[in-house]
Amino acid sequence: MASLLKVGDVEVLHLKSTPLNTPEKPTGRYNGFSPSTTILPKGHKLNEDSRPFQVDTIWERDIAIAMRDGVTLHADVFRPANVSEKVPAIIPWSPYGKTGIGYFTLDNIPYRAGVPKLHVSGYEKFEGPDPAEWTQHHYAVVNIDARGAFWSEGDIRYYGSAEGRDGYDAIEHVAKLPWCNGKVATMGNSWLATAQWFIAAERPPSLACILPLEGLSDFYRENFCRGGVPNPAFFGPYMARRLFGKNNIEDVSAMLKKYPLMNEYWADKRAKIQNIQVPAYILASMSTGLHTVGSLRAPIYNIPFSTWPIPETERRCFYLCDGGELTEENPSTGEVSYQSDVVARQMNNDPEEAVFTYTFPERCTLIGPTKAVLYLSCTEFDDMDVFVQIRKADKDGNILVNSNIPLEDLGKTSIDEIPDINVMKYLGPTGILRASHRNIDPILSKPHWPAHDHTKEVKVAPGNIVKLEIGLWPASIQWDAGEKLIFKVAGHPMSLAEFPLLRGTFTTANQGKHVLHLGGDHNSHVEIPVVALQ
């Protein structure tokens, strides 16, 4: 077994993985190590309400896959039984559990996220392709327990080039199996998508294409320390308690505490997208609070454009006024303040938020990322964690909420019946920045998107006014005439928590009041990307 991970000169800290099942704590749902081969006949169903297999399928359990450092991973293979030709393989990659095992399951999400039990076989890896779907199309599905997960050897790794190399080795191993035609694809959502960026960047020769269906590509900037504000609750303790294995897990929370600024460890968790040379089929949503800012939601109307961001975009500037309005003219000077250190429950009803409103005289469509430029000060502390959000309100000023899943699929008639969590409801695009991380990275930044270098802290002298450039994640929102754009600024996150257990866990470094400076030389404003649709 390999020694603990080192990235460049940085020793990676680890903690013990959550042990495999015990009678007292069966939350891992582990079904044991059992190398074997079984034929699942056409029509086979795991449970009465499960999706049936459409063809006879060979299920090989716990095959061994060797890594370059001597570590052995284990996988389950599902492949069509009665075919004469060799078949391509699909690999979903994660430490969640390889075949219907692990903590994560649709049953742990309210209303199973609108997915009926009859739609899945129960043999799928969480957020991965279903063998019952793909074997009928003459594909094999290879569910691998990533390094350190369940019976696989080694320690669980969080993204990065090390996980990419493991994926490379697994792809080349599978491509040489006697039933495989040498072509391998990767597929999946969330971790299963994120891992693909790192695996494909290693350029395994047998990788034919990738299908990342929703995943981040820069762990530090896009989630774990977005805008320089640490948010370890989900990917730290919450996730660690739900990843099972016999050894250790990379302790990203401890690493963030020890290395709060960008270094080679965090840079290694930014995928080298430019190295990917295979076709990619990318799907995702704009509503997720966990994944990449570049994800796109399937359109209601298929309107083609030549590239992304849309070149026909007009960037309209709206200035913040001390009366709570947004105006297209730079106003006279003013100030607005809010208490920055209130505890936020992230249930769409937290106090101390500065609110600004614009009423559209005609239809307007926002598509893409928004940029906010704010001037702030704080007399009571030398730093500020600043959160911004765009909301949509109707003609009567009622702020709207979007259901991520059609109400009829949930068996509901009103959005008020749905839990207030980000998985189920979308409030609007958000941005985050810690003032001491305000220095811009000129290489990563675009005119429409400020990226920050995060290599050093530049504290703010109490009372000094600083300019903050904050990117809001891409969105697609349409307002009709009379409807309202709401822009909010606060010292706490304004999106809904991902799950109820995470409410109140996002803590900030804020102290005292933040003062927003408006108009004149301190022309705080928001630039929205407007696209004229036919």
- Given this model, what pLDDT does residue 229 score? 96
Question: What are the counts of helices (DSSP H) followed by strands (DSSP E) for the chain?
Answer: 8, 25
Distance CA(14)–CA(37), nearest Å, equals 35
Mean pLDDT value across residues 318-342 = 96
- Given this model, what pLDDT does residue 299 score? 34
Q: Into which CATH architecture does domain 6-275 fall? A: 3-Layer(aba) Sandwich (3.40)
Average pLDDT value over all residues in the chain: 93
The predicted-structure confidence for 473-484, as pLDDT tens digits, reads as follows 999 999 999 999
Contact residues for 519 (Cβ-Cβ < 8 A; gap 6+) = 319, 321, 322, 330, 331, 332, 333, 334
Percentage with pLDDT > 70 across the chain: 96
138: β partners: none
The predicted-structure confidence for 247-268, as pLDDT tens digits, reads as follows 999 999 999 999 999 999 999 9
Residue 379 three-state SS? coil
pLDDT over 90 at 2, yes or no: no
Q: Is 230 left (phi over 0), alpha (psi -120 to 50) or beta?
A: beta
pLDDT over 60 at 298, yes or no: no
Quote the Cα angle for 122-245-201, to 5°.
80
CB 144 within 8 A of CB 91: yes
pLDDT over 90 at 108, yes or no: no
Share of the chain residues as helix, strand and coil, in percent rounded to the nearest 5:
15, 30, 55
Global pTM value: 0.89
Distance CA(84)–CA(435), nearest Å, equals 63
Which CATH superfamily does the domain covering 314-530 fall into?
Galactose-binding domain-like (2.60.120.260)
CB 355 within 8 A of CB 488: yes
pLDDT over 50 at 1, yes or no: no
- Given this model, what pLDDT does residue 300 score? 44
- Given this model, what pLDDT does residue 123 score? 97
326-327 and 10-11 strand pairing: unpaired
Contact residues for 3 (Cβ-Cβ < 8 A; gap 6+) = none
Residue 514 CB: number of other CB atoms within 10 A? 28
180-188 and 87-91 strand pairing: parallel
The predicted-structure confidence for 26-56, as pLDDT tens digits, reads as follows 778 898 899 999 999 999 999 999 999 999 9
Q: Residue 206 gets which letter from DSSP?
A: T
CA-based nearest residue to 177, from 336, 29, 63: 63
The predicted-structure confidence for 120-134, as pLDDT tens digits, reads as follows 999 999 999 999 999
The predicted-structure confidence for 201-248, as pLDDT tens digits, reads as follows 999 999 999 999 989 999 999 999 999 999 998 888 888 889 999 999
pLDDT over 70 at 64, yes or no: yes
Q: Where are the domains of the chain?
A: 6-275, 314-530
Contact residues for 485 (Cβ-Cβ < 8 A; gap 6+) = 318, 326, 357, 358, 360, 390, 391, 392, 393, 479, 528
First to last CA, the chain: 60
**CA–CA distance from 172 to each of 184, 204, 449, 501 (Å)?**
8, 7, 38, 40
CB 364 within 8 A of CB 411: no
- Given this model, what pLDDT does residue 308 score? 79
474 preceded by a cis bond (ω within 30 of 0): no
The predicted-structure confidence for 134-143, as pLDDT tens digits, reads as follows 999 999 999 9
- CA-CA-CA-CA torsion sign (196, 201, 203, 209): positive
Residue with tokens 């919450």: 238
pLDDT over 50 at 7, yes or no: yes
Q: Residue 340 gets which letter from DSSP?
A: T
